[in-house]
């Protein structure tokens, strides 16, 4: 047997370790490499931003008052539910505590090794999009901040803030800073009316010499702070020798956005977007282990590359932009069914998809109130809304 290694002690790495430990007949105990002295990945809140004292970047994007935008009923690992007394929409501390309990239950902690990366060729790093496409950058006089470094709203009090990016995090943090009397403008325009206290603006087309932002609709805004919610790019330099490259936010040679052709023992768990994350990790890990233990077989490299191109073309034919090719959203159920069929494991219950669609609709209608709702799973296909929140216990 060979020892399997995980890079990262966040939810995906912990999930992989848990399933490897459950199969001692097929795998030796795993090693989880982690660059920090704590588990939890992005769920471990740190008020500090930028870098640690050793110069390595702080990877967590967690902010002080974050609550999940998915209920715990579809946030959980399938075999490890959250405590019943917790509300459906959790503060990030509850998720971190959940991961610590998951680690304790499956005896993962002593398999985690703190690992300092000395050779950048084998480091997986993140890149943040900045202001490279804005004109007249030398004249910029406002503060620029990426959402990765946002922690709390108080510094935005009474400021004029332009938010670039109107997806879930952009909307959530816009609502938060509007509550401290910030004047908030969000771009691009949303398909639904913006939440109270937030104004919509068109696409940014340039910057005037005085630092004011010019928008496509002709409006001009003098901003104190520009807050970016522009996502990230993938960079896997250790794959370049074989010609596998990442363009934009999508790796063009990954099958099922999970395995790279030519690297049959490397799996990328959790790089998809707009998903139920812990359920997603669980399915991908089960699929990867089925391949590694031989109960499932990947196509040949040529077949994998053709499959990737077909899937990319299918999505683009339906109007999906290249930058959104990793978004699963409504395709999650089919994706998990396909993996479960090949990997020979039980797929997630249909109730997860049903509740996901309910929550998405509620979030679009009431982005400031939807987290007040509490749910309960009834069985594999049914859920209900609770009339009263779960009873709190000490």
Residue 356 domain-assigned (yes or no): no
Quick one: pLDDT band at residue 379, thresholds 50, 70, 90? very high
Give the DSSP H/E element, type plus range, for residue 205.
Answer: strand 204-207
CATH code of 18's domain: 3.50.50.60
Residue 149 domain-assigned (yes or no): yes
pLDDT averaged over the chain?
Answer: 86
Q: Which residue has the tokens 């233990």?
A: 293
Check residue 240 and give its pLDDT: 55
Structural domain tally of the chain? 2
Does pLDDT of 375 surpass 70? yes
The reply to whether 118 and 145 lie within a common domain is: no
The reply to whether 11 and 135 lie within a common domain is: no
Domain that holds residue 209: 130-228
Which of 318, 335, 351 corresponds to the end of one domain? 351
Among residues of the chain, what percentage have pLDDT more than 90?
Answer: 58
The reply to whether 113 and 246 lie within a common domain is: yes
Does pLDDT of 241 surpass 90? no
The reply to whether 122 and 134 lie within a common domain is: no
pLDDT digits (tens, 9 = 90+) for 177-214: 999 999 999 998 777 677 888 999 888 998 888 888 99
The reply to whether 167 and 309 lie within a common domain is: no
Residue 313 domain-assigned (yes or no): yes
CA 291 and chain centroid, separation: 25
The reply to whether 223 and 248 lie within a common domain is: no
The reply to whether 248 and 343 lie within a common domain is: yes
pLDDT digits (tens, 9 = 90+) for 33-46: 998 889 999 999 99
Which of 209, 228, 247 corresponds to the end of one domain? 228
pLDDT digits (tens, 9 = 90+) for 115-137: 655 454 444 433 333 444 444 44
Q: What 3-state class would DSSP assign to 199?
A: strand
Residue 380 domain-assigned (yes or no): no
Burial class (CB in 10 A: 0-12, 13-18, 19+), 327: middle
125 or 299: which leads in pLDDT? 299
The reply to whether 117 and 243 lie within a common domain is: yes
Exposure string of 291-312, with b = 16+ CB inside 10 Å and e = fewer, is bbeeebebeebeebbeebeeee
Quote the tokens at residue 231.
Answer: 């996502």
Range of lowest pLDDT (42-46, 298-302, 347-351): 298-302
Does pLDDT of 251 surpass 60? no
Which of 318, 336, 351 corresponds to the end of one domain? 351
Quick one: pLDDT band at residue 150, thresholds 50, 70, 90? very high
């Amino acid at each position: 047997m060979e020892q399997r290694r995980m890079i990262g002690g966040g939810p995906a790495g912990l999930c992989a370790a848990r399933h490897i430990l459950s199969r001692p007949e097929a795998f030796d105990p795993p090693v989880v490499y982690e660059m920090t002295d704590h588990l939890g990945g992005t769920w471990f809140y740190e008020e500090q931003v930028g870098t640690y004292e050793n110069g390595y970047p702080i990877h967590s994007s967690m902010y002080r008052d974050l609550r999940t935008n998915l209920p715990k009923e579809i946030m959980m690992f399938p075999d490890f539910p959250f405590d019943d007394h917790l509300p459906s929409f959790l503060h990030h501390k509850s998720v971190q505590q959940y991961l610590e309990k998951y680690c304790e239950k499956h005896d993962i902690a002593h398999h985690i090794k703190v690992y300092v990366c000395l050779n950048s060729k084998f480091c997986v790093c993140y890149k943040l999009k900045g202001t490279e496409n804005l004109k007249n950058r030398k004249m910029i006089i406002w503060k620029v901040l990426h959402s990765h470094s946002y922690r709390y709203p108080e510094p935005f009090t009474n400021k004029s803030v332009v938010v670039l990016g109107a997806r879930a995090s952009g909307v959530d943090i816009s609502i938060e800073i509007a509550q401290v009397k910030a004047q908030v403008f969000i771009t691009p325009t949303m398909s639904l009316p913006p939440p109270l206290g937030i104004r919509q603006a068109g696409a940014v087309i340039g910057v005037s010499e005085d630092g004011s932002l010019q928008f496509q609709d002709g409006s001009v805004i003098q901003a104190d702070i520009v807050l970016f919610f522009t996502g990230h790019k993938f960079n896997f330099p250790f794959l370049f020798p074989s010609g596998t490259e990442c363009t934009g936010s999508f790796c063009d040679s990954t099958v099922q956005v999970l395995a790279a052709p030519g690297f049959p023992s490397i799996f990328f768990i959790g790089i998809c977007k707009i998903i139920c994350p812990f359920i997603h990790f669980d399915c991908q890990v089960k699929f990867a282990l089925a391949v590694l233990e031989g109960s499932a077989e990947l196509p040949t490299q040529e077949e994998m590359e053709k499959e990737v191109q077909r899937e990319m073309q299918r999505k683009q034919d339906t109007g999906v932009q290249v930058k959104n090719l990793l978004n699963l959203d409504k395709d999650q159920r089919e994706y998990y069914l396909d993996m479960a069929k090949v990997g020979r494991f039980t797929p997630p219950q249909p109730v997860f998809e049903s509740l996901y669609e309910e929550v998405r609709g509620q979030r679009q209608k009431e982005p400031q109130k939807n987290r007040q709702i509490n749910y309960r799973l009834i069985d594999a296909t049914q859920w209900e809304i609770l009339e009263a929140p779960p009873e709190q216990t000490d």
